[in-house]
Amino acid sequence: MKAAVFALFSMLVIMPTTAKGHDTNADHTLDISDVWARKTRRTTSAAVYLKIHNGTETVESITDVSSPIANMATLHLSQEVDGVMRMDMQDSVPVPVGATVAFEPGGLHIMLMGLSKPLAEGDVFPVTLSFEQAGDITVYVDVTGLSGPQTK
């Protein structure tokens, strides 16, 4: 079971390499990359981060998110308001043509509530993003240590 999930994840890692070269505009696709979440000690909540590049010729917007490992998934935006950090639920997140929208710590994230188990480093689990035009796209989340992805 775990091997099957990992195989799917490997496919996902390979796909973006075939779609390299956004400059050429050869790929008219939504490119979702760098999908990760920090490990958690509890099952209360987790935040998922990723990048979305809109290589299509239509304005996109994420209207919904879900994951089989969470009771609830929502689009959240962390921001500082009057010196206090707060999280606001977003009904949708626009992804303009040619733009890359980054979900990253301190900003946009997918908030998962009520996990079926704590996230352990090395886990891989699916999250589905619903786009206004492209429909549902499922990506696989790579669970990292507390310091996030090691890119160096």
Q: Is 76 in the site for Cu ion (CB under 5 A)?
A: yes
At 37, list the tokens.
Answer: 């979440």
Which residue of 32, 110, 111, 143 would you call a contact of Cu ion, by CB under 5 A?
111
At 36, list the tokens.
Answer: 């990760």
Tell me how many degrees the CA angle 22-133-34 measures, rounded to the nearest 5.
45
> Whole-number minimum distance, CB 76 to Cu ion, in Å?
3
Closest Cα to residue 32, out of 18, 15, 51?
A: 51
> Whole-number minimum distance, CB 113 to Cu ion, in Å?
9
Q: Which is nearer to Cu ion, 111 or 141 (CB)?
A: 111
Contacts of 65 (CB under 8 A, 6+ apart): 73, 74, 75, 110, 127, 128, 129, 130
Q: Which is nearer to Cu ion, 53 or 109 (CB)?
A: 109
Which residue of 87, 97, 102, 113 would you call a contact of Cu ion, by CB under 5 A?
87
Please identify, among the stretches 6-14, 82-90, 94-102, 123-131, the one whose residues bind Cu ion according to the rule CB under 5 A: 82-90
Q: Specify whether the CB–CB gap between 95 and 69 falls below 8 A.
A: no
**Count of residues near Cu ion by CB under 5 A:** 3
Per-residue DSSP letter, 23: G
Residue with the shortest CB distance to Cu ion? 76
Q: Which residues form the interface with Cu ion (CB under 5 A)?
A: 76, 87, 111
